Amino acid sequence: MAVHLTLKKIPVNGALKDESGLPFACVVQPFAKAEDAPLIKPSAVRARDVGRCRHCFAYVNKYCSFQTTGWGCCLCGTYNEYRCLSNRRYARPPLRQAVPELRRALVEVQCDLDDEADSALQAEGGGAMEVAVAPVTLALVDAGGGEEWLELVRGALAAALEALPPTALFGLVTFGTQVELWDVRGPVPAVRCVALTPDGAAPTAVDLGDALPLSALLAPVGATKERIAAALDLLEPAQPGQPLGSRGFGSAMQAVLRYISAAGGMLPLEAHGGDRSTPASSPAHPAAPAADGLPSIAASLCYAGARVLAFLAGAPDNGRGAVLRAPPRPLPSASSGPPLFDPTFPDVNPYAFVPLAAASGRGAAAGADERAGEGSQWEVDLGARAFYEGAAAAAAALGVRVDVFAACAGPCGLEAVEPLASGSGGALLHYPHLEQAALPQDVYRRLSASAALGGLLRVRLSPELRVARAYGPLAADERYEDLAHVAACDAHTCFAFDLEFTSTVGCGDKADVPPFLQMAFQYSVVVPAGSVAGAIEASTGAEGEVRSSANGNSAGGNSGAGVAGGRVFQRRLRILTVPLTVARSVRDLYTSTDADAVLVMLAHKTARAAQEVGAREAGALLQDWLVLFAAAYNRSLRRDDDAGPTAASQVDVACEGAEALQPLARLAYALLCSPLLGEAPGAPAGGDAAVAARHLWAALPPGELRRAVYPALASYSDPDTQACALHSLSRAALTTAGAPVWLLDAFSQLVVYYAPTAPAGLPFPPPPSSALRRAINAIRASRRITPALHMLRGGHHDAEPFSRWLLEEPDTEAPAGTLGAGGFVAFLAQVQGEAYDYMREQGWC
């Protein structure tokens, strides 16, 4: 778990915060690898043993005060007596010193699985700490792509089979106007086809489970890898010129969710703890192993849910969730046809159409125009977004994560499809160039990274502070304040919380009692049986209290856990307690600012504003923020020498006197030019690229977001010698440095650029052993998504993939009045002028 505060020293009260002009927030990566907090052995302490404050429910921690008859809560000051059963372990000083939860600020403990009302399991195992499961992965493949697409998907699925453990269960489903279920049990793969029904209560003519039980579709990876590969070879590419209306993605997704729900014996959309559904009337207890000793599919689905890898080759245009639709039909009379309401999840209104001109993204419009040229009048239906929001809610309730991989040069309708990934804890990746797509690498990375499932994240603060708003891929709890549900997240996933004071007094004068912040993250994880690999690396075993693996402690009869490569499901709790230091002057705040964390907050606020009031207005709000901040900063300067600026040119917008603040103007400017407020720079596929960038940015941690917003530009005097590690993104920087070779890192893209003036003797492309190549490989290996790599030689190739990232240059093609289009220098001058006017209005100069 990692916490970054925008102000590493917090303001003493709201007035000082306002005076600084900076956001006051914390940015959290709950599942970040934490080498200093290994899992504590359940025999030492379980989650239920950790004492809690009777008033604020904070967990006891090393910062609490321990007295003769009780302990004082460091967050709220409440005195908790040792007489209370749960506090007895802290009563005696010698024992207290050995209590693991009091030794570190960050602790991780295991939860009993029966804590969550699974009485049958409790009866069998008595306080089970883990259950054997077989991770379930379903590939849902668009059958409407060409040969190149199919090759890419074959590579991706081969990578998936490599990434999954041998005991994992894998199933292949393809879709078009029907759903095809691939049965690989026999020597020759067999296919069951089920027609999709665009209208009516169910997405398919018969339930998929009736056509082929899920247990027959799912095959263990280790034993059937060759047969699954043989099935992939049988997939046939779609013929060019395929008619419209042949991509029933939404219907297929809905059918698959029902398929999983029925097989797990689960009730979709039932209220539950967040990570697993309530077992319904399944014939046997889900934790009971199947006859062959392996974990049953029902148990695996019930505990660990499932993962759906959806491969999309174009915009959905058939049935439910179609983004492109045929023109509206006359409304049927009230008495005709089956009811359109589907109880599984709220369906879209099939009669909601948006005129083509109103559809977002020029790519979508262009694609639809092409289709219109084929003689039909198809329209873009943005109502489809509501369908995918509903599908994501149903998936999250079932514990199903949906990763969407869209590889297509044309429009994919990702604006509508995106909620399916973000709402279910999955990822959305977009590949506009099939020949460059690193799809197999990305699938491998997604599947091999450990993930926290069904997370509950709670931020507790001392009484003078509270959370005002939450940002990132989470959902607020309806009942409990400050509690958020995280469907799934990985080590990189980042959330942000705006903080505010509960009263005007703020922290007051209590110099000896600092305020505290406590994050608690409860989540589920699937880890190799009998090992600690998984969420946390094995520790050095310091003090003998660490180590995972509650062997012999698992639920009775789950011998599957002992199978080689077997996986177990555990529930864990991470607690981090942070003492906050208080700043009492605005200068103190300025020196303790974390510009990267401020950027995360600015990006979240800008994205939310763009959604609520439109991109243009959101851009104006961002610029206004920078103006007010610049005025506040210059006001703080005035106090020292008591003379304010006498002209706009004297306003210091670059914050020359405060190093921590210096990146802010440039980052705010880069946000104005970013896909949060429109298209990604030079995006070839219009709206889809911007949607994919926004999806990615919504969960990026501070350092990574900075790279994506303001790419890093390094120069090389030859492929083996770096000249300078960081340049500003302007032509002036290129000219001044005069280096022949450049490497630009825009997080999801890497560009190698040889200047036209580069000596002819420099090898192009850079040799595999060169320092430049090694730098590229290191970057590609460290990212959650594989950056696309462009290698360009000025004078031979079009330099646009490089020059479009020179963000500080004026954008001559932008419409008049576009914010930031005049370039960075003009932008700074404008901010300077507005800040000066504001300071004069306020009487600050």
Binding site for Zn ion (CB under 5 A): 53, 55-56, 58, 73, 75-76, 78
Q: Quote the CA–CA distance of 134 and 300 in Å, as a whole number.
A: 6
Which residue type, as a one-letter code, is found at position 344?
Answer: T
Nearer to Zn ion, 73 or 131 (CB): 73
**Please, which residue, 65 or 503, has the CB nearer to Zn ion?**
65
Nearer to Zn ion, 225 or 458 (CB): 458
- Give the nearer residue to Zn ion in terms of CB position, either 55 or 793: 55
- Per 3-state DSSP, the chain is made up of helix, strand and coil in percentages (nearest 5) of 35, 20, 45
Residue type at 281? S
Cβ within 8 Å of residue 840, ≥6 positions away: none
Q: Which amino acid is at 140?
A: L
Token digits of residue 89:
């372990």
Contact criterion met (CB below 8 Å) for 89 and 95 = yes
* Bridge-based pairing state of the strands 25-29 and 495-501: antiparallel
Residue number with CB closer to Zn ion (59 or 805): 59
Strands of 408-515, DSSP E: 428-431, 451-461, 465-471, 475-476, 483-490, 495-501
- The CB-of-513 to Zn ion minimum distance in angstroms stands at 13
Amino acid at 538: A
Q: Least separation, in Å, of the C-beta of 66 and Zn ion?
A: 14
Task: Indicate the residue among 78 and 559 with the shorter CB distance to Zn ion.
Answer: 78
In the numeric block, the tokens 């804890």 are attached to 425
From CA 474, how far away is CA 496, in angstroms rounded?
Answer: 10
Nearer to Zn ion, 80 or 636 (CB): 80
d(CA 389, CA 625): 32
Paired with 483 in beta bridges are 458
First to last CA, the chain: 45
Least Å distance, CB 181 to Zn ion, is 54
Query: What is the closest distance, in whole angstroms, from the C-beta atom of residue 501 to Zn ion in the complex?
Result: 18
Q: How far apart are CA 311 and CA 141, in angstroms?
A: 5
In the complex, minimum distance from the CB of residue 460 to Zn ion, in angstroms, rounded to a whole number? 8
- DSSP calls for 369-382: HHHHHTT---EE-T
User: Which amino acid does the sequence have at 16?
Assistant: L
Work out whether the CA dihedral 691, 696, 701, 707 comes out positive or negative.
negative
Q: Which is nearer to Zn ion, 63 or 351 (CB)?
A: 63
Angstrom distance (rounded) from CA 575 to CA 458: 10
Separation between Cα atoms, residue 509 and residue 490, nearest integer Å: 40
How far, in Å, are 549, 572, 574, 761 from residue 453 at the CA level? 19, 10, 13, 53
CB of 70 to Zn ion, least distance (A): 12
CA distances from 730 to 269, 697, 735 (A): 52, 23, 9
Asked if residues 534 and 525 have their Cβ atoms less than 8 Å apart, the reply is yes
Instruction: Quote the least distance from Cβ 516 to Zn ion, whole Å.
Output: 9
DSSP letters spanning 176-220: SSEEEEEE-SSSS-EEEEEEB-SSSSSSBSS-HHHHS-HHHH-EE
Residue among 58 and 700 whose Cβ is closer to Zn ion: 58
Nearer to Zn ion, 76 or 280 (CB): 76
Among residues 83 and 639, whose Cβ is nearest to Zn ion? 83
User: By C-beta, is 72 or 810 nearer to Zn ion?
Assistant: 72
The label of the residue with tokens 């802290």 reads: 90
Q: How far is the CB of 52 from Zn ion (least distance, A)?
A: 8
The letter for the amino acid at 50 is: V
Q: Which is nearer to Zn ion, 55 or 62 (CB)?
A: 55
Q: Could you give the angle at which helices 663-672 and 824-841 cross, rounded to 10 degrees?
A: 110
CB of residue 59 to Zn ion, shortest distance in Å: 10
Q: How far is the CB of 83 from Zn ion (least distance, A)?
A: 17
Nearest distance, CB of residue 84 and Zn ion, angstroms? 13
Q: How many residues does the chain have?
A: 845
Smallest separation (angstroms) from Zn ion to the CB of 47: 18
Amino acid letter, 134: A
Q: Is 465 helix (H, G, I), strand (E, B) or coil?
A: strand
Nearer to Zn ion, 73 or 121 (CB): 73
Give me the least distance between CB of 51 and Zn ion, in Å please.
11
Q: CB nearer to Zn ion: give 9 or 55.
A: 55
Name which of 58 and 779 has its Cβ closer to Zn ion.
58
The sign of the CA dihedral 116, 122, 126, 132 is: negative
Nearest CA to 424 out of 571, 278, 302, 253 is that of 253
Nearer to Zn ion, 55 or 608 (CB): 55
Q: How far is the CB of 484 from Zn ion (least distance, A)?
A: 20
Indicate the Cα dihedral angle 316, 319, 320, 323, nearest 10°. Answer: 30
Q: How near is the Cβ of 89 to Zn ion at its closest, in Å?
A: 18
The answer to whether the CB of 373 falls within 8 A of the CB of 280 is no
Minimum distance from residue 519 beta carbon to Zn ion (Å): 15
In whole angstroms, the minimum distance from the beta carbon of 523 to Zn ion comes to: 23
Q: CA 458, 459, 463, 466: dihedral to nearest 10 degrees?
A: -110
513 three-state secondary structure: coil
**Packing angle of the helix pair 297-304, 249-263 (nearest 10 deg):** 110
